[in-house]
Structure 1
Amino acid sequence: MNILITGAGRGLGLELTAAALERGHAVIAGVRDLTRGQAALADLAAVHGDKLTLVTLDVTDEAGIAALAASLTEQARTLGVIINNAAVLNATDTALEALDIEEMQRAMDINLYGPMRVIKHLLPLLTGPDASIINISSEAGSITNAYPGSYPYTISKTALNMFTQKLHVTLKDRGIHVLSVHPGWMPTDMGGAKAPLPPRTSAEGILDLIGQKAEPSGHFRFVDYTGEDMDI
Structure 2
Amino acid sequence: MKSILITGCNRGIGLGLVKRLVKDQISPKCIMVTCRNLEKSTELQQIAAEHKNVHILQLDVEKTDTFENFAKDVKQLVKDDGLNVLFNNAAYSPKATRIHFVKAEQMLETFSINAVGPLMLTKALLPLLKKAATLNKDQPLGIDRSAVINMSSILGSLSMNDSGGLYPYRCSKAALNMITKSLSIELKEIGILVTAIHPGWVKTDLGGPKAPIEVDDSVDGIINLLKNLSTTHNGLLYSWEGKPLEW
So what's the TM-score if we normalise by structure 1? 0.92
Partners of 2:17 and 2:214 lie apart in 1 by 12
* Matched residue, 1:18: 19
Q: CA deviation at 1:9?
A: 0.7
The answer to whether the 8 A contact 1:216-1:227 is kept is no
* Matched residue, 2:242: 227
3-state SS, counterpart of residue 135 of structure 1 = strand
2:50 to 36, 40, 47: 47
* Matched residue, 2:85: 81
C-alpha change, 1:212 and 1:79, in structure 2 (3 Å) is same
The answer to whether the 8 A contact 1:81-1:133 is kept is yes
Question: Over residues 70-95 of structure 1, what are the superposed CA-to-partner deviations in whole Å (9 max), with x where a residue is unaligned?
Answer: 223345262111100000011332x3
Partners of 1:47 and 1:74 lie apart in 2 by 21
Shift >4 Å, 4+ stretches: 214-217
Q: CA deviation at 1:214?
A: 4.2
Pair 1:212 & 2:228 matched: yes
3-state SS, counterpart of residue 122 of structure 1 = helix
**Same amino acid, percent of matched pairs:** 34
* Matched residue, 2:202: 186
2:71 to 69, 72, 78: 69
Residue type of the partner of 2:47?
L
The answer to whether the 8 A contact 1:216-1:228 is kept is no
Pair 1:7 & 2:23 matched: no
1:152 to 134, 147, 168: 168
* Matched residue, 1:119: 122
> 1:84-163 to 2 correspondence within 5 Å?
84-93=88-97, 95-126=98-129, 127=132, 128=136, 129=139, 130=144, 131-146=146-161, 147-163=163-179
Residue type of the partner of 2:46?
D
1:60 to 54, 59, 62: 62
3-state SS, counterpart of residue 40 of structure 1 = helix
Q: CA deviation at 1:216?
A: 5.0
The answer to whether the 8 A contact 1:216-1:222 is kept is no
Unaligned segments of structure 2, at least 5 residues: none
The answer to whether the 8 A contact 1:91-1:103 is kept is no
* Matched residue, 1:30: 34
Q: Point out the more displaced range, 120-129 or 70-79.
A: 70-79
3-state SS, counterpart of residue 22 of structure 1 = coil
Question: Over residues 28-65 of structure 1, what are the superposed CA-to-partner deviations in whole Å (9 max), with x where a residue is unaligned?
Answer: 00111112x211101211221x2000001110112322
Partners of 1:212 and 1:199 lie apart in 2 by 20
Aligned length: 228
Unaligned segments of structure 1, at least 5 residues: none
CA RMSD of aligned residues (A): 1.7
